[in-house]
């Protein structure tokens, strides 16, 4: 009933919220992308997107189609792998940003391992800036990391915005330097936070720095300060800082897949994992419910007291 080509196009638009970016990812003209989406909407009899001058949004029926599209495409890929008789082998060096510690990425990688048991997957979890450098040096084959919007590199898995987050009840005194909880250099979030504060002439101080997302989250939950983070990946126990705090806008951010191309033997496996990540990109939004850093189930951390200053 539903054309897999149209479903792939639908997923690309839903994840990037951009017909232009979806066309670039798929190597198609924008008019072709629009045509395929219209055909899928005609097949379902429901609008899957709302479009206006401000951008693209997924409708309620579009959200439902996300799950169906993933399942249908996964079934197609399994059938192709079974009847094609090809088995991927070799070593694949995959680098992923710290942001995905609390997401469903492990489930996606587990599925990939089941489908391709002879691929030796080496996983590196690093800061996005570090991953970019390691890829350029040829030390990684595939990277999933943050990038500045419009950089034109790699495939956009999804586009989001960065926001200031903190423990519930923490307030920012406009007369005092902003207490920052940051990754060390060369983190993308660190660079963006300092850039917007300095551009606005807002004083700041370093309240906590850690190379571990778990360390930053613990500091934020303790009410030590605020941290810049992706809106779709806010860890449990933390909330966006209200606009009345007067902190400058952090702007958009892209999550992209980048490939090295330096090891031909790894390209087939890298392409297979890239397809799996692109197809499941919407599952990477938001933390796994009921889990906290370290992967252990547990209750939300006790929020800071009402009006507690940071």
Please list the pLDDT of the chain residue by residue as tens digits (310 residues): 789 999 999 999 998 888 988 898 888 999 999 999 999 999 999 999 998 877 899 999 999 998 899 888 888 877 876 776 567 888 999 999 988 867 788 888 988 888 888 899 999 999 988 999 999 999 999 999 988 876 667 888 888 889 999 999 999 998 899 999 999 988 889 999 999 999 999 999 999 999 889 999 999 999 999 999 999 889 899 999 999 899 999 999 988 999 987 888 888 899 989 988 887 777 776 555 544 443 333 333 333 333 444 5
- Give the H/E segment covering residue 42: helix 30-44
Q: Is residue 261 reached through a cis peptide bond, with omega within 30 degrees of 0 on the bond before it?
A: no
Report residue 29 CA to chain centroid gap: 25
Q: What is the pTM of this model?
A: 0.72
Report residue 180 CA to chain centroid gap: 22
**What six digits make up the tokens of 200?**
């606005």
Helices and strands in the chain, H and E counts: 9, 11
**What six digits make up the tokens of 291?**
């889990």
| CB-based contacts of 170, cutoff 8 Å, min separation 6 | 223, 225, 226, 241, 304, 308, 309, 310
């Amino acid at each position: 009933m539903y054309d897999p080509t149209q479903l792939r196009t639908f997923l690309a638009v839903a994840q990037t919220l951009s017909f232009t970016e979806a066309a670039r990812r798929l190597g198609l003209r924008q008019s072709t992308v629009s045509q395929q989406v219209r055909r899928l909407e005609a097949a379902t009899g429901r609008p899957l997107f709302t479009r206006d001058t401000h951008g693209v949004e997924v409708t309620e029926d579009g959200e439902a189609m996300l799950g169906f599209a993933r399942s249908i495409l996964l079934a197609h890929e399994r059938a192709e792998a079974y009847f094609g008789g090809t088995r991927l082998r070799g070593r694949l060096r995959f680098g992923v940003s710290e942001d995905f510690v609390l997401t469903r990425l492990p489930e996606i990688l587990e599925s990939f391992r089941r489908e391709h048991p002879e691929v030796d997957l080496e996983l590196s979890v690093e800061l996005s800036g570090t991953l970019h450098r390691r890829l350029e040096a040829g030390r990684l084959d595939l990277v999933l990391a943050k990038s500045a919007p419009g950089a034109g590199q790699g495939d956009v898995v999804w586009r989001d915005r960065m926001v200031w987050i903190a423990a519930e009840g923490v307030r920012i005194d406009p007369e005092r330097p902003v207490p920052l909880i940051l990754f060390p250099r060369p983190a993308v979030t660190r660079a963006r936070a300092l850039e917007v504060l300095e551009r606005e002439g807002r004083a700041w101080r370093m309240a906590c720095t850690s190379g571990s997302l778990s360390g930053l989250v613990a500091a934020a939950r303790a009410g030590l300060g605020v941290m810049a983070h992706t809106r779709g990946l806010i860890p449990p126990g933390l909330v966006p800082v209200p606009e009345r705090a007067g902190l400058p806008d952090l702007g958009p951010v892209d999550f992209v897949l980048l490939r090295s191309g330096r090891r031909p033997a790894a390209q087939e496996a890298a392409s297979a994992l890239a397809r799996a990540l692109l197809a499941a990109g919407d599952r990477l939004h938001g933390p796994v419910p009921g889990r906290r850093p370290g992967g252990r189930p547990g209750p939300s951390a006790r929020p800071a007291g009402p009006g507690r200053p940071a």
